[in-house]
């Protein structure tokens, strides 16, 4: 019971940090830039820019004007993360942190969808679609989760081979 509480405090703490940073950054952009206005922090290059942009769709601008469907889909993903998180062994803290980061990002964008009717994006890099901190957290969280699961699978296989007495030794010279 104590480990479950600590594990869920980790989820809540990390997710709340992500949500707070995401919402604060979006509020700052809303107050500093009008819709469509850009700021080039490294002039004269426009490779990296800050822009106040409204995304009524999903990643990469797909499914524009699908806010209601995306609210439902994002809510389902959040519920899945919350449920899946409860099945992760306590010792797998890295996996838990990855899920918490993803949860914070998903909630951050869901708040926008309900509050604004769109997701506020503001980071422009090259020709890549404009994104925000929440998008970054979801993407990085997914990437790190895949890495964590691959490493866990590799370690699990090595443990099973060792337990079976079949561990592999490097060839002798």
| Residues known to be catalytic | 121, 135
Largest CA distance in the chain: 68
d(CA 128, CA 121): 12
Q: What is the 3-state secondary structure (H, E, C) of the chain?
A: CHHHHHHHHHHHHHHHHHHHHHHHHHHHHHHHCCCCCEECCCCCCCCEEEEEEEECCCHHHCCCCCHHHHHHHHHHHHHHHHHHHCCCCCCCHHHHHHHHHHHHHHHHHHHHHHHCCCEEEEEEECCCCCECHHHHHHHHHHHHHHHHHHHHHHHHHHHHHHHCCCCCCCCCC
């Amino acid at each position: 019971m104590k480990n479950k509480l600590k594990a869920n405090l980790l989820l809540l703490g990390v997710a709340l940090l992500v949500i707070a940073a995401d919402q604060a950054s979006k509020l700052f952009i809303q107050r500093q830039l009008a819709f469509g206005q850009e700021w080039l922090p490294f002039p004269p290059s426009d490779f990296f820019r800050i822009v106040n942009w409204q995304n009524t769709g999903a990643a990469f601008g797909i499914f524009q004007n699908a806010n209601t469907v995306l609210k439902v889909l994002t809510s389902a993903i959040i519920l899945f993360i919350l449920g899946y998180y409860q099945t992760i062994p306590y010792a797998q803290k890295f996996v838990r942190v990855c899920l918490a980061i993803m949860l914070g990002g998903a909630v951050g964008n869901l708040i926008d969808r309900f509050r604004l009717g769109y997701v506020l994006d503001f980071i422009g890099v090259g020709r890549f679609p404009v994104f925000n901190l929440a998008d970054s957290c979801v993407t990085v969280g997914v990437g790190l989760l895949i890495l964590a699961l691959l490493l866990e699978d590799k370690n699990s296989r090595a443990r099973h081979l060792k337990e079976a007495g079949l561990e592999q030794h490097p060839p002798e010279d």
